[in-house]
């Protein structure tokens, strides 16, 4: 049983060790709160009565209570009183409590500055260090500005302990007031001559922070002159003789090695001469540091980051990437593997060939049990895919799709579809890949991928159509299982192809009886609960009946059942199909279900149950996202209403002819047409038609937009295809990309639907637009001017970029 704590005196609370013992003995949180509340009440009473003898003890107990997570604000003023004590033990307790119980936003700090100034000028060194430590922990902007110059004077002290504390305090000062970094950097130019490792470590931290500020950039040449000394220091640490004072598991002062490497990275960034001077020592660190020790990977990682950041040689960069590859294969730590994958993702654009050598190791990371490792490996593999290795990497991604977690399947499916569309070696390969994705990804397949699959099958050769239709039918012929019914993307593509190419299915090298196909589709129709799939299945049955009249007796009973469906769309569809089948003129039925024309490359194949053509009426009934509605209003305000084409709904068009008056549109004098410098096409983009010209439209920290002007029809010189190629120039994935555009009143604009709305790092997506540039009264055609608004989401934040493009070649 717990023994009650006996107080030494009724006028004081228990000792700190007794409080710790009593708290540890509590079995529930309620008991702990009761003990703490009782002790806080006793401490308040002691503070109120002015009992100074045990103030330090009470403050120490308050610190312990604070660490337990309980409120201790009532003791802040007592901390300040304790700081003024002449007894070192009490002063130390006051400073300790102040650093923990008070932060830079508390108003009570204004009462502390005078005491800090007095303690900084004290003759005793240990009191000065207390004041410097407090500044390093709690200094706000005002305190840093008031005490910064006094802190800087200690950098010239003969005491290593004071120098070390002054560097830490200075680091806090320049983070709060960057303009004061010159005061500190000017006094640390000779730091390389220091022998004390503690001073070197803290001093380098201060230098690195200062040189990375705008105000401290002017000191970089001064520190570059001492580069040889820091290279020599690092070499002495790498090739050291044993010293128990700094040895950590056989490595000399790894903390200082890491800090020197960070300093070299700052100095070598953008400086080729300095980078060459440090190349040898970086190679020594990379080859002589053992990775199997716990501290070795930390040094190697900083070395790799330095090599990949500075202007290093290709051989040295290859060595750095090899080290990252070893991290992936030999390390059992997920932290190290994650860091390696993250670093490779950032360097793959510049050193793709070197990273490609480790692609097998990277693919193996997809099987890791840690989801963060799998996600990072997926991002890296997607970045590695190109036209030369897509046949090797995409099958690995598809295999992983079969056992990927639901949280990762959606992103993985989108990446496979995007990479396949961009680098597909042939249409046959692309079709086979999308079919596999539909089979394995189920409900995670995006609708544009299904539309793309249907469009490609409709445009492909007869043999390819037969093979694709047979593969899709084989999947739905397995029976309407629960798993199959959830794969709506697969079902919609299969039903469309089975109905459209039923005649090819019955003449395949492994022929299928038309009656068997009808039986499978009918079973699927009665099993699914999706109205969309039921509509596709009814259409497929009607087409099967048109292709194979012998199935008429099997199809009619099913359609008669759906004549009484509660779903009005299905009921109407069944009535119409029955009426056509039973028509007195069989040519009408055959003509109604003729094979559909091939879908255009950039068009989205509409679902077979869509009975209204997309237009203004359909667009008005569509729910519009608020961000898009705001963007539309923005364009309407600029161009004055409905005389422009705005991308509110796919394929929405508009425009009216009239005289060209740029003043009316842009609200000012005529914008001079500027011919920008030719833009380099993003890697992997090839214009589809003869190129008229191209312009750099916009570039910010997320996107670079280049507009390519192409002529589709040589006989119509007024009609152009514009391709807005949006390249992701940041290191993050960008989603929900939407481009809205408007043209002048002398042109009409039709927006083509995008097949994807997400883009990975260093990748691009394309928005195609058709512009009909109306000639003026004199027959001349003006260059195209456009107003564009780009909406997208990056790192969870919605961003908007607005820009005007003038002088698009026509």
pLDDT digits (tens, 9 = 90+) for 56-73: 888 999 999 999 999 988
Q: What is the pLDDT of residues 452-472, one digit of tens each?
A: 899 899 888 888 888 999 899
Q: In degrees, to the nearest 5, what angle opens at C-alpha 92 toward C-alphas 168 and 123?
A: 75
Residues 680 and 696: beta-carbon distance below 8 Å: no
Q: What is the pLDDT of residues 384-409, one digit of tens each?
A: 888 888 888 898 888 888 888 888 88
Q: What is the pLDDT of residues 34-45, one digit of tens each?
A: 999 999 998 888
Tokens standing for residue 388:
């030369």
Helix (H) or strand (E) holding 692: strand 691-699
- Beta strand 691-699 with 719-728: parallel, antiparallel or unpaired? unpaired
- 290 backbone dihedrals φ, ψ, rounded to 5°: -80, 125
Cα–Cα distance measured from residue 724 to residue 720, given in angstroms and rounded to the nearest whole number: 13
Cα–Cα distance measured from residue 308 to residue 415, given in angstroms and rounded to the nearest whole number: 27
Is the predicted pLDDT of residue 786 greater than 70, yes or no? yes
Write down the pLDDT at residue 776.
Answer: 66
Write down the pLDDT at residue 620.
Answer: 32
The set of long-range contacts for 471-480, using a CB threshold of 8 Å and a minimum separation of 24, is 471/432, 471/435, 472/435, 472/497, 472/498, 473/497, 473/498, 473/505, 473/512, 473/517, 473/520, 475/439, 476/520, 476/521, 476/524, 477/516, 477/520, 479/523, 480/523, 480/524, 480/526, 480/527, 480/528
Cα–Cα distance measured from residue 391 to residue 378, given in angstroms and rounded to the nearest whole number: 16
Tokens standing for residue 603:
């068009």
Q: In degrees, to the nearest 5, what angle opens at C-alpha 558 toward C-alphas 555 and 562?
A: 135
Is the predicted pLDDT of residue 708 greater than 70, yes or no? yes
Burial 390-405 (b: 16+ CB within 10 A, else e): beebbebbbebbeebe
**Mean pLDDT, residues 8-15 taken together:** 58
Task: Select from 158, 231, 221, 228 the least CA-distant residue to 185.
Answer: 221
DSSP state of 767: E
Is the predicted pLDDT of residue 254 greater than 70, yes or no? yes
Is the predicted pLDDT of residue 154 greater than 80, yes or no? yes
Is the predicted pLDDT of residue 335 greater than 50, yes or no? yes
Write down the pLDDT at residue 640.
Answer: 42
**Residue, of 650 and 109, whose pLDDT is higher:** 109
Write down the pLDDT at residue 54.
Answer: 82
Cα–Cα distance measured from residue 673 to residue 30, given in angstroms and rounded to the nearest whole number: 76
Q: What is the pLDDT of residues 504-513, one digit of tens each?
A: 887 777 788 8
Cα–Cα distance measured from residue 690 to residue 710, given in angstroms and rounded to the nearest whole number: 6
**Mean pLDDT, residues 445-458 taken together:** 89
Cα–Cα distance measured from residue 269 to residue 223, given in angstroms and rounded to the nearest whole number: 13
Helical axes 552-562 vs 531-547, angle rounded to 10°: 150
Residues 555 and 578: beta-carbon distance below 8 Å: no
Cα–Cα distance measured from residue 767 to residue 751, given in angstroms and rounded to the nearest whole number: 8
Is the predicted pLDDT of residue 770 greater than 70, yes or no? yes
Residues 497 and 489: beta-carbon distance below 8 Å: no
DSSP state of 730: S
Tokens standing for residue 437:
């994705």
Q: State the DSSP string of 317-364.
A: HHHHHHHHHHHHHH---HHHHHHHHHHHHHHTTTSHHHHHTTHHHHHH
Sign of CA dihedral 359, 360, 362, 367: positive
Write down the pLDDT at residue 215.
Answer: 87
Q: To the nearest 10°, report the CA torsion of 429, 430, 432, 436.
A: 130
Give the C-alpha distances (Å, rounded to integers) separating 711 from 687, 725, 772, 787, 810.
10, 16, 11, 21, 9
Q: What percent of the chain has pLDDT over 90?
A: 27
What integer best gives the mean pLDDT of the chain? 82
Write down the pLDDT at residue 185.
Answer: 92
Q: What is the pLDDT of residues 567-594, one digit of tens each?
A: 888 999 899 988 888 887 878 888 888 8
* CB-CB neighbours of 529 under 10 Å: 7
* CB-CB neighbours of 88 under 10 Å: 12
Q: How confident is the model at residue 524 (pLDDT cuts 50, 70, 90)?
A: confident
Is the predicted pLDDT of residue 720 greater than 90, yes or no? no
Helix (H) or strand (E) holding 693: strand 691-699
Write down the pLDDT at residue 678.
Answer: 37
Within 8 A by CB and 6+ apart from 546, the residues are: 589, 590, 592, 593
Cα–Cα distance measured from residue 770 to residue 763, given in angstroms and rounded to the nearest whole number: 24
Q: What is the pLDDT of residues 169-189, one digit of tens each?
A: 999 999 999 999 999 999 998
Task: Select from 74, 68, 57, 73 the least CA-distant residue to 13.
Answer: 57
Is the predicted pLDDT of residue 265 greater than 80, yes or no? yes
Is the predicted pLDDT of residue 675 greater than 50, yes or no? no
* CB-CB neighbours of 429 under 10 Å: 14
Helical axes 16-24 vs 55-67, angle rounded to 10°: 30
Cα–Cα distance measured from residue 676 to residue 696, given in angstroms and rounded to the nearest whole number: 7
Q: How many CA atoms lie within 13 A of 470 on its CB side?
A: 16
Write down the pLDDT at residue 653.
Answer: 34
Write down the pLDDT at residue 778.
Answer: 66
Is the predicted pLDDT of residue 658 greater than 60, yes or no? no
Query: Which residue, chain included where needed, has tokens 């680098």?
Result: 423
Task: Select from 607, 594, 479, 486 the least CA-distant residue to 546.
Answer: 594
DSSP state of 709: E
**Residue, of 715 and 189, whose pLDDT is higher:** 189
Cα–Cα distance measured from residue 166 to residue 143, given in angstroms and rounded to the nearest whole number: 15
The set of long-range contacts for 243-252, using a CB threshold of 8 Å and a minimum separation of 24, is 246/197, 248/295, 249/293, 249/294, 249/295, 250/290, 250/293, 251/289, 251/290, 251/293, 251/295, 251/296, 251/299
Is the predicted pLDDT of residue 329 greater than 90, yes or no? no
């Amino acid at each position: 049983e717990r023994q009650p704590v006996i107080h030494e005196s009724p006028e004081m609370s228990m000792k700190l060790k007794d409080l710790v013992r009593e708290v540890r003995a509590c079995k529930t949180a309620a008991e702990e709160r009761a003990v703490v509340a009782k002790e806080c009440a006793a401490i308040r009473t002691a503070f109120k009565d002015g009992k100074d003898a045990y103030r330090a003890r009470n403050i120490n107990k308050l610190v312990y209570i604070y660490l337990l997570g309980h409120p201790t604000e009532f003791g802040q003023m007592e901390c300040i009183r304790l700081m003024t004590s002449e007894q070192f033990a009490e002063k130390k307790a006051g400073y300790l409590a102040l650093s923990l119980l008070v932060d830079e936003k508390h108003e009570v700090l204004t009462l502390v500055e005078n005491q800090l100034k007095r303690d900084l000028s004290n003759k005793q060194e240990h009191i000065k260090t207390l004041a410097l430590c407090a500044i390093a922990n709690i200094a706000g902007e005002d305190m840093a500005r008031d005490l910064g110059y006094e802190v800087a004077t200690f950098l010239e002290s003969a005491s290593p302990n004071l120098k070390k504390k002054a560097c830490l305090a200075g680091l806090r000062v320049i983070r709060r007031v960057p303009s004061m970094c010159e005061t500190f950097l000017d006094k640390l130019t000779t730091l390389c001559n220091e022998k004390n490792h503690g001073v070197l470590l803290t001093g380098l931290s201060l230098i690195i922070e200062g040189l990375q500020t705008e105000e401290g950039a002017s000191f970089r040449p001064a520190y570059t002159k001492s580069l040889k000394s820091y290279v020599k220091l690092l070499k002495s640490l790498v090739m050291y003789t044993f010293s128990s004072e700094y040895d950590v598991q056989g490595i000399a002062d790894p903390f200082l090695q890491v800090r020197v490497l960070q300093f070299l990275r700052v100095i070598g960034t953008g400086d080729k001469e300095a980078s060459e001077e440090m190349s040898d020592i970086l190679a020594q660190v990379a080859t002589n540091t053992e990775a199997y020790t716990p501290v070795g990977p930390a040094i190697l990682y900083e070395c790799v980051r330095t090599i990949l950041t500075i202007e290093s040689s290709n051989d040295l960069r290859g060595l750095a990437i090899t080290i990252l590859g070893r991290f992936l294969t030999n390390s059992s730590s997920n932290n190290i593997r994650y860091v390696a994958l993250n670093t490779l993702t950032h360097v793959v654009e510049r050193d793709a060939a070197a990273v490609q050598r480790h692609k097998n190791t990277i693919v193996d990371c997809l099987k890791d049990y840690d989801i963060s490792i799998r996600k990072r490996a997926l991002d890296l593999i997607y970045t590695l895919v190109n036209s030369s290795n897509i046949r090797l990497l995409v099958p690995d991604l598809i295999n992983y799709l079969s056992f990927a977690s639901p949280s990762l399947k959606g992103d993985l499916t989108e990446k496979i579809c995007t990479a396949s569309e961009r680098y597909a070696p042939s249409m046959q390969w692309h079709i086979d890949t999308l079919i596999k994705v539909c089979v394995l990804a189920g409900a995670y397949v995006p609708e544009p991928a299904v539309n793309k699959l249907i469009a490609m099958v409709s445009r492909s050769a007869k043999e390819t159509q037969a093979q694709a239709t047979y593969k899709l039918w084989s999947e739905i012929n397995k029976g309407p299982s629960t798993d199959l019914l959830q794969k709506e993307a697969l079902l919609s593509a299969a039903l469309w192809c089975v109905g459209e190419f039923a005649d090819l299915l019955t003449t395949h090298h492994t022929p299928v009886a038309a009656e068997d196909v009808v039986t499978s589709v009918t079973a699927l129709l009665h099993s699914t609960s999706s109205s969309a799939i039921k509509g596709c299945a009814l259409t497929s049955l009607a087409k099967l009946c048109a292709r194979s009249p012998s199935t008429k007796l099997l199809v009619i009973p099913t359609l008669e059942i759906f004549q009484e469906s509660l779903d009005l769309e299905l009921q109407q569809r069944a009535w119409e199909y029955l009426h056509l089948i039973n028509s007195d003129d069989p040519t009408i039925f055959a003509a109604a279900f003729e094979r559909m024309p091939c879908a255009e490359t950039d068009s989205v194949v509409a679902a077979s149950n869509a009975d209204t053509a997309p237009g203004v009426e359909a667009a008005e009934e569509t729910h519009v996202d608020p961000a898009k509605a705001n963007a539309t209003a923005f364009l309407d305000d600029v161009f004055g209403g409905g005389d422009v084409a705005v991308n509110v709904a796919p394929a929405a068009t508009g425009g009216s002819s009239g005289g060209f008056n740029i003043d009316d549109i842009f609200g000012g004098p005529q914008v001079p047409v500027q011919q920008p410098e030719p833009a380099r096409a993003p890697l992997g983009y090839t214009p589809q038609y003869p190129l008229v010209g191209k312009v750099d439209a916009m570039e910010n920290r997320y996107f670079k937009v280049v507009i390519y002007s192409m002529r589709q029809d040589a006989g119509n010189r007024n009609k152009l295809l514009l391709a807005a190629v949006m390249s992701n120039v940041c290191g993050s994935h960008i989603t929900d990309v939407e481009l809205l555009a408007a043209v002048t009143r002398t042109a009409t604009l039709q927006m083509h639907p995008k097949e994807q709305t997400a883009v990975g790092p260093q990748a691009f997506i394309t928005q195609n637009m058709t512009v009909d540039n109306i000639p003026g009264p004199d027959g001349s055609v003006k260059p195209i001017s456009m107003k564009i608004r780009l909406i997208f989401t990056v790192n969870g934040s919605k961003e908007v970029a607005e820009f005007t493009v003038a002088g698009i070649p026509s």
